[in-house]
Structure 1
Amino acid sequence: MLNKRISLIALGMLSAPQAMANDQAESNGFVEDSSLKVLLRNAYINRDYKDGNPDKSEWGQAAIGTFSSGFTQGTVGVGVDAFGLYALNLERSEDRSGAQGIDFFKKGDSGKPADDLSKGGAAIKFRLSSTTLTYGDQMPALPVLSYDNSRLLPESYTGTLITSKEIKGLQLDAGRFTAESRKSAEGRDSGGLKSINVLGGSYQFTEQFKGALYASDVEDVLKKQYVNANYIFPMDKDQSLTLDFNGYRTKLDDSYVRENGITGDDNKIWSLAATFATGPHSFTLAHQRSTGDSNLGYAYGGYQKDQGRIGDGGNTIYLANSYWSDFNAEDERSWQLGYGLDFGAFGVPGLTYNVAYVRGDNITTSTSEGGTEREIFNQFKYVVQSGPAKDLSVKLRSSVLRVSQKSSEYNVSGNELRVFVDYPINVF
C-alpha cells in the first residue's frame, strides 16, 4: 500500500506547476555548481561500565570525502553525488572493542576488529523545476530514516528518494531504500535491511510555526509514524521561547515479534521541550513519555542481522531526552533540565557549553516495574573562527549514567567520554 502511495506522491511532485518554484531554472551547470569537500575526523569514545561489566573504547582516524555536482542546464537537470570513506583503527583492542553503542570497527569472525575500513558510493540525480529524484547511495536525514553521523564513519543507504519544494515553505519526501551500509563495516548491504519505504513532509505555516508528518515501513519489521510541531515565541530583543513537540508511534510486525521473542508490538513515545533563550544563555525544560505494550520501548537504528534491531538509521530519534541514554524504555517517563552558554558574548567566539540532567522512572522490564535511570550530560565545543585551521572543531563530551537494579535488563550504568576533532576542507 505504501509503495502505491509513494508512486502517486512522486507523480504529483513531478507534475506540480513550475510557476510556483523552479530551482532548475537557476542552474549554472554540472561543473559550475559542483563542490568537493573532505572531512578529517579523529574520534575517541570510552565507556567505563559499572556493575562488573567490562570497559569498552574505540579510537580512529577517518577521511570522509563528498562530491556533489551541479545540474546540467535545461528543463530536466542531471547530476551526480558521490562519497568515499576511509577509517584507520588506532586502538585495535580485541577486548575493548565491540560495544554496540560505539561501533567504530565491526569485529570479524575471528573476534578481532578491522584494522581499517574503506568504501564509497555514488548516486545519479534528476531535477525538474524544484523536484529532485536521486537514485543510488545516499545519506538521508528524515525523522523516520536518519543516517548516523555521530560516530567515526557515517551510515549510508541505497535506494531512491524524491524531494519536492515546489511550494514555498513546503517540503515533500518519498522514497524506497533496499540496502544499508553499516558505519563500522564495508559493503553496501552490511546492515541487514530488506527494504524501507518513507513518505512525508514538513511545512512552514508562519515565520514562527513549523510542522511535520512522516511515515515509514521497514519490511518484515515495523511501521512507524512521526509528528512534529515547533513554535517560536519572539520576546524582547535577543529573547525567545521555543516549544518543540515530537512524537513517534511504532507497530512491530507479527513475524518480527515471534522470531525475536518480543513481548507486545506497540509503542508510543513523545517529548515536549521548552527552551528560553536570552542573549548567550539558553534554559531547557523537557518531558518525555513512552507508552505501549512492547518490551522494546521505542525501537530504532541498529542492525537486524546481529542485533535484533530495526535498520532505520542511528539518528532516527528526534526526541528531547536523547543523550547517552535515550530514555525510551517501556512505560518510561523522563524529565530534563538543560542549560547552554555561548562564550562569544564574553570574548571567546566559537566556544559553547551545554549541560543537562535527565531523570527517568516507571521503567518496565520482563522481571520488574518502577525502574529508574538518570544522566548528567556535559559538552564543550570549540570551532576555530579564522586562520589556516578555520572551521576546525573540537568537541569534548561526557555523560554519567546511573541505572537502578530494576532497570538493568534495559540499560547499564557507566561513565562515557567522547573526544571528536573535525576538520572540514572545501577543496572547491
Structure 2
Amino acid sequence: MRVMKWSMIALAVSASTSQFAMASSQEESKGFFEDQSLNVLSRMLYMNRDWKNNDSDEQSYREEAGLGVRAIYESGFTQGTVGVGVDAFALGSVRFDGGTGRAGNGLFAQDSSDNLEKTQSKAGGAVKFRLSDTVLKYGNQFTSSPVFATDDSRLLPEVATGTLITSNEIKGLELSAGRFTSLSDQTAMGRDTINGTGLKSANIAGATYQFTDNFVGGVAASDIEDFYKKKYLNLNYTLPINEDQSLNFDFNGYDTKGEGQELAGEADNRIWSLAAAYSLGAHKFTLAHQRSTGDAGYKYGADGNGTIFLANSVQYSDFNNKDERSWQARYDLNMKTYGVPGLSFMTRYITGDNIDTGTNDDAKEHELDIETKYVMQSGPAKDLSFRVRSAFYRGSTGVGNDNNDFRFIVEYPLSIL
C-alpha cells in the first residue's frame, strides 16, 4: 500500500506539471482565515425498536431519545506553493430518555452497570496540506469511501484517525489513498475500538472518473488487517429523456476475502446490486435487485458501519446474508410540484430469499419502510427539518427477529462562519 500511495502522489505531481497553465485550487487560495468555515449541526433523535418474536429471556423493546450537537471548523489554506490548514470538531450529546431496561439502540454508551450515560462529548482535529489540487490530511476525520466509511445514523458520527490523500489534478478524475489506525464508534468518546474488535490498520485506495456529464465510474480497494480485503466497483449512468423525465442506472459490487486472523469470521463473499430509477416530474419509481454469493454473507463494521454502498441496505436490514437474493420496489414523491416545497415522501418494500442459515438454505426476510420529511424553506428557522422513519421487518428463524423500528429526527444546520 505504501508503494501504491507514493505512486498516486507521483501521478498527481506529474499531472499538475503537465497542466501548469490551469489555475489550481492552491493558487486560488485566499488564506487560512479568509477561507475558513464553522458549521454547527443539532440533531434530536427519538428511536424505538419493538421485537415481536424474541425469546422470553431476551430484550424485546428498546427506546432512547437525545440531542446531539456537532461543531465543525475548517480553515482555509495558507498561500504559497504548499498550503497548510487545520480542521477541528467538537461533538456532544445529552440524553432525554432511555433507561437500563430499554437501552441498546446505539444512541448512548452504557457504563459497567449497563446504565446509559447522561452526557457524552468528544473533540478532535486534523492538519492538512495542499499542493496544487492534491490534499493530504492527517488526524481525526470523517470518511466516505465505499471501502471505509464512518457511519452517521445516530446522534453522533463515527470518527477515524489516520492519513488520507485526495487528488483532483486531472479534470474529472479523483484519486484517493489512505491509512487509518483507529476507528471509534458513535457512542465512544475516545479512541475506543469499534464493535468490540480493535482496528489494527486499514489501507484504502480509490478512483472515480466522470466519463461524461451523465456517466461516472469508480473503483476502490481496502486491506483491513486481520479482518478482510475488499474490492469495489460502481457504475452510474443517467439517461435524460426530457425536462421532466430521466432514467438512472446504478451498479454497486463488492468482492471480499478474509485476511489474517479473520476476526469477524469467514469473509468470502461477492455481493452486487443494480438499481433502475425512473423520474417523472415530482415522482420517482425505483426497482432494484441485489445478490450475495460465496461461503459467507457480506461483512462490514471494522471498516466503519457505513461501509455498505448497496441498493438494498435500508433502514433496518441490509439483505446481505449468505446466498441471499433480494428485490426492492420504491416510490418517492416531492411535493414542491404540488405547491408544498420542502415536503417529501418515500416508501419501499424489499424482500429477500434463498438465505443459507446453516440449518435452512431457503430462509426469507422482508421489510417495508415509510418515510416523510419536511424542511423549512425560509424565515429564522430556514433549513430546520423534521423527519419520520418507520420500518416493519419480518424474518425467518435464524435470519432476524421480527421488528418495528421507528425514528423521529429533527435537525437544524447553522453556518456561523
- Short-chain TM bin: over 0.9
What residue in structure 2 maps to residue 401 of structure 1?
393
Residue aligned with 2:15, SS = coil
Kept in 2: contact 1:178–1:194 (CA 8 A): yes
Kept in 2: contact 1:198–1:214 (CA 8 A): yes
Whole-angstrom distance in 2 between the partners of 1:17 and 1:10: 11
1:227 and 2:226 matched = no
Whole-angstrom distance in 2 between the partners of 1:404 and 1:21: 58
What residue in structure 1 maps to residue 366 of structure 2?
374
Q: CA deviation at 1:106?
A: 1.9
Whole-angstrom distance in 2 between the partners of 1:411 and 1:28: 54
What residue in structure 1 maps to residue 156 of structure 2?
153
Whole-angstrom distance in 2 between the partners of 1:146 and 1:265: 18
What residue in structure 1 maps to residue 33 of structure 2?
31
Give the letter for the 1:284 counterpart: T
Whole-angstrom distance in 1 between the partners of 2:378 and 2:81: 41
Give the letter for the 2:33 counterpart: V
Q: Deviations over 1:37-65 (max 9, x none)?
A: 11111011111111135111221111100
Find the partner of 2:407 among 395, 408, 418.
418
1:355 and 2:355 matched = no
Q: CA deviation at 1:15?
A: 4.3
Residue aligned with 1:82, SS = strand
Mapping of residues 313-332 of structure 1, within 5 Å? 313-323=304-314, 324-332=316-324
Q: CA deviation at 1:87?
A: 0.5
Q: Deviations over 1:184-222 (max 9, x none)?
A: 121023322111011011000011110000001111110
1:11 and 2:6 matched = no
Give the letter for the 1:276 counterpart: Y
TM-score, scaled to structure 2: 0.95
Give the letter for the 1:32 counterpart: E
What residue in structure 1 maps to residue 299 of structure 2?
299
Residue aligned with 2:77, SS = coil
Give the letter for the 1:318 counterpart: F
Kept in 2: contact 1:175–1:199 (CA 8 A): yes
Q: Deviations over 1:118-137 (max 9, x none)?
A: 00110000000000000000
Which structure 1 segments of 5+ residues have no match? Answer: 302-310
1:278 and 2:292 matched = no
Give the letter for the 2:409 counterpart: F
Give the letter for the 1:423 counterpart: Y
Give the letter for the 1:339 counterpart: Y
Mapping of residues 29-428 of structure 1, within 5 Å? 29-52=31-54, 53=58, 54-98=60-104, 102-191=105-194, 192-256=198-262, 262=265, 264-294=266-296, 297-301=297-301, 311-323=302-314, 324-405=316-397, 409-428=398-417
Kept in 1: contact 2:267–2:298 (CA 8 A): no
Which has the higher mean CA deviation after the structures are superposed, 10-19 or 329-338?
10-19
**Structure 1 residues 159 and 21, CA gap change in structure 2 (3 angstroms):** farther
Q: Deviations over 1:300-324 (max 9, x none)?
A: 12xxxxxxxxx11111111111111
Kept in 2: contact 1:10–1:174 (CA 8 A): no
Which structure 2 segments of 5+ residues have no match? Answer: none
Kept in 2: contact 1:156–1:180 (CA 8 A): yes
Q: CA deviation at 1:254?
A: 4.8
Whole-angstrom distance in 1 between the partners of 2:230 and 2:361: 26
Whole-angstrom distance in 2 between the partners of 1:87 and 1:159: 24
Whole-angstrom distance in 1 between the partners of 2:77 and 2:165: 15
Whole-angstrom distance in 1 between the partners of 2:163 and 2:294: 32
Give the letter for the 1:91 counterpart: D
Residue aligned with 1:25, SS = coil
CA RMSD of aligned residues (A): 1.3
Whole-angstrom distance in 2 between the partners of 1:199 and 1:420: 34
**Structure 1 residues 235 and 143, CA gap change in structure 2 (3 angstroms):** same
Residue aligned with 1:16, SS = helix
Kept in 1: contact 2:225–2:260 (CA 8 A): no
Which has the higher mean CA deviation after the structures are superposed, 104-113 or 413-422?
104-113
Give the letter for the 1:344 counterpart: K
Whole-angstrom distance in 1 between the partners of 2:88 and 2:163: 15
